[in-house]
A = this chain, B = another copy of it.
Amino acid sequence: MNDRTVCVYGVGSSHFGKQPDTSPSELAWTAVAEALGDAGVDSVDAVYVGTVFGAPGVAQRALHALGIVEVPILTLENACASGTTAYHEAFTAVGLGRYERVLVLGVEKMTAAFDGAIHPEDTDAEGRSGLALPALYAMSAARYVHEHGLTPEQLALVSVKNHRHALGNPRAQYRGDHTVEEVLASRLIADPLTLLQCCPIADGAAAAVLGPDRGEPRDIRIRSSVLRSGALWDETSPHVWGFDLVAATARDAFDQSGVGVSDADLFEVHDAFTIGEIVTTEALGLAEPGGGGRLVESGHTTIGGPQPVNPSGGLLSRGHPLGCTGVAQVAEVVWQLRGEADARQVGNARIGVVETMGGGVAGIDGNACVVSVLERPHAGPGAR
């Protein structure tokens, strides 16, 4: 639908982790300065921001101090997909010729909002039942195990893989070389999910600069980006919660991109909990329904395998500052496609996919899902 090709010119991020003494502005400054420098751009026409728990004006506070003033600043909330929602709106704005240089910023300081996990809303049925997010994902996992016979070891392997990937990511919150046994022996949070199968509370910011194709070899082309919200979830469906939304969004994104899932060289997906990655790889079409456990077991999605998933460490290990996450995923894909991912580099990466799934309480099959297909358009240093 866009009138012109859109590229990511540059990306940046803060460190990820619990950083209670670092303000949201400081997190944002680090990410934005890196992204602008990486893009070789010193001014922008508009800013799209993702945050969930940021105070009103959190972006303006940070941006005005950087001299980013007078341009439209738009702050979007779409639960865990807030950052990718901001990216999607920026992509569309550039594609339709509305702006020439757009900054995307994801910023979240979760340690300022919560002392433990995210509290459920007590106006939702889930909240009134005390069902926090780990419990919801645990129910999803239990249902999945019932339907497909996933083993605890297969589930734990997602955590093992992503934590090992994060060993190569100096920005990641947790970088641990864990065994399946260690993952299963970690503290039980919500059966069957143990501590190492749940993403941590994190603070962080990530940024990207988007614009029309300018012929720079380092720029990464966005082949497609699709945003959808979910339907009311049919609890009689054999698909667990979220599957249908991710599958529909991915189908549209691949259709619009002109490439298929088998063409993709790497994926950054929403592994807020281990079961999330299992279900998402199936919804994306990397495995048949019920095949997600065998997929991770096969090494297919490990760095060195044919189609690595979450080379950054994912939400489980890089961390999950909600509104930041989608932009951090985009940054990782850009680094990978350029061949700038150092110890976690995926070999000969030409096409990368970002998927973020946000929310989904109150009986909804996801508040929002964004899937985007990115491509290294020129032979560059990433070609190994």
Contacts and interface: CB of A to CB of B under 8 A. Distances in A.
A96 B61 CA distance: 30
A52 interface: yes
Given A98-B92, A123-B23, A57 B73 contact: no
Given A76-B76, A78-B74, A248-B70, A56 B230 contact: no
A35 to B, nearest CB: 19
Nearest to A65: B232
A76 B78 contact: no
A85 B74 contact: yes
Contacts of A96: 96-98
A55 to B, nearest CB: 5
Contacts of A78: 73-75
B70 A364 contact: no
A55 B77 CA distance: 10
Interface string A65-101: 1000111111111110000010001001000111000
The 5 closest A-B pairs by CB, nearest first: A69-B231, A73-B229, A96-B96, A60-B367, A75-B77
Contacts of A368: 60, 72-73
B23 A57 contact: no
Given A73-B78, A76-B75, A78-B74, A362 B230 contact: no
B232 A69 contact: yes
Copies of this protein, total = 2
Interface string A114-131: 000000010110000000
A323 B69 CA distance: 22
Contacts of A55: 121, 123
Contacts of A76: 74-77
A171 interface: no
B77 A56 contact: yes
A72 B123 contact: no
A367 to B, nearest CB: 4
Counting chain B CB atoms within 10 Å of each CB, the highest count among A60, A70, A79, A232 belongs to A60
Counting chain B CB atoms within 10 Å of each CB, the highest count among A53, A74, A364 belongs to A74
A72 B362 contact: no
B98 A57 contact: no
Contacts of A212: none
28 contacts: A23-B123, A55-B121, A56-B79, A56-B359, A57-B79, A57-B361, A57-B364, A60-B230, A60-B359, A60-B362, A61-B362, A61-B364, A64-B230, A64-B362, A64-B364, A69-B230, A69-B232, A71-B229, A72-B227, A74-B89, A74-B227, A75-B76, A76-B76, A76-B77, A77-B77, A89-B89, A92-B98, A96-B97
Nearest to A120: B55
Contacts of A60: 229-230, 359, 362, 364, 367-368
A143 interface: no
A15 to B, nearest CB: 20
Given A64-B230, A96-B96, 4 more contacts: A61-B364, A69-B229, A69-B231, A70-B231
Interface string A43-64: 0000000001101110011011
A52 B56 contact: yes
Given A89-B74, A92-B98, A57 B123 contact: no
B98 A228 contact: no
Given A75-B78, A121-B55, A228 B364 contact: no
A85 B47 CA distance: 13
Nearest to A54: B77
A324 to B, nearest CB: 14
